[in-house]
């Protein structure tokens, strides 16, 4: 007979596993759409952040994307090599690196406009359901982020 504690240790009962598998499937959903732009998913979310706010410090960009510098720096180097952005030292504080979109990076925004609607369609959820899910995940992320900041 299964004990109650065994039930809680089942893989299908784990929130972390549900989030992990959902993230993997979501990334797979984006992959063919992003191939047309020549971007990986992480490069895409970086471009989204820069289309929202251009001329941002690498540190601020990393915080916005929840990426450490060890992940963000090589990613930015690849986007720079592709001609989508430039990294420059701040004139006021040379310790700060500012990321700026190039004209090619700005123009790519138009190519990317159809992606969110295609994703909405493929999830088979209503816009209201997607907004509610996104808001709940954002709330959970904020709670977990507070908890991990308190622990460190």
State the Cα–Cα distance between residues 33 and 123, nearest whole angstrom: 14
State the Cα–Cα distance between residues 59 and 76, nearest whole angstrom: 12
State the Cα–Cα distance between residues 92 and 148, nearest whole angstrom: 33
Average pLDDT, the chain: 94
pLDDT at 2: 61
The model's pTM: 0.89
- For 1-48, the pLDDT digits (tens) are 567 678 889 999 999 999 999 999 999 999 999 999 999 999 999 999
Any alpha helices (H) in 9-126, and if so which ranges? 15-35, 41-52, 58-65, 69-81, 103-112, 115-123
**Is it the case that residue 148 has pLDDT exceeding 90?**
no
Sorting pLDDT into bands at 50, 70 and 90, what band is 152?
Answer: confident
Sorting pLDDT into bands at 50, 70 and 90, what band is 151?
Answer: confident
Query: Cα 67 from chain centroid?
Result: 9
Contact indicator for 90, 98 with CB cutoff of 8 Å: yes
Which CATH class for the 37-112 domain?
mainly alpha
CB contact set of 68 (below 8 Å; sequence gap of 6+): 62
State the Cα–Cα distance between residues 133 and 119, nearest whole angstrom: 14
């Amino acid at each position: 007979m299964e004990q109650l504690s065994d039930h809680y240790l089942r893989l299908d009962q784990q929130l972390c596993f549900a989030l992990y598998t959902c993230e993997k499937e979501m990334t797979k959903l984006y992959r063919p759409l992003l191939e047309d732009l020549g971007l990986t998913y992480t490069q895409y979310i970086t471009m989204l952040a820069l289309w929202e706010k251009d001329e941002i410090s690498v540190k601020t960009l990393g915080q916005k994307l929840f990426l450490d510098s060890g992940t963000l720096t090589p990613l930015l180097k690849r986007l720079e090599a592709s001609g989508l952005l430039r990294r420059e030292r701040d004139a006021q504080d040379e310790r700060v690196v500012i990321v700026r979109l190039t004209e090619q990076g700005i123009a790519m925004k138009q190519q990317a406009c159809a992606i969110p609607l295609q994703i909405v369609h493929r999830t088979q959820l209503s816009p209201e359901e997607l907004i509610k899910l996104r808001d709940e995940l954002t709330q959970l992320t904020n709670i977990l982020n507070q908890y991990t900041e308190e622990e460190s």
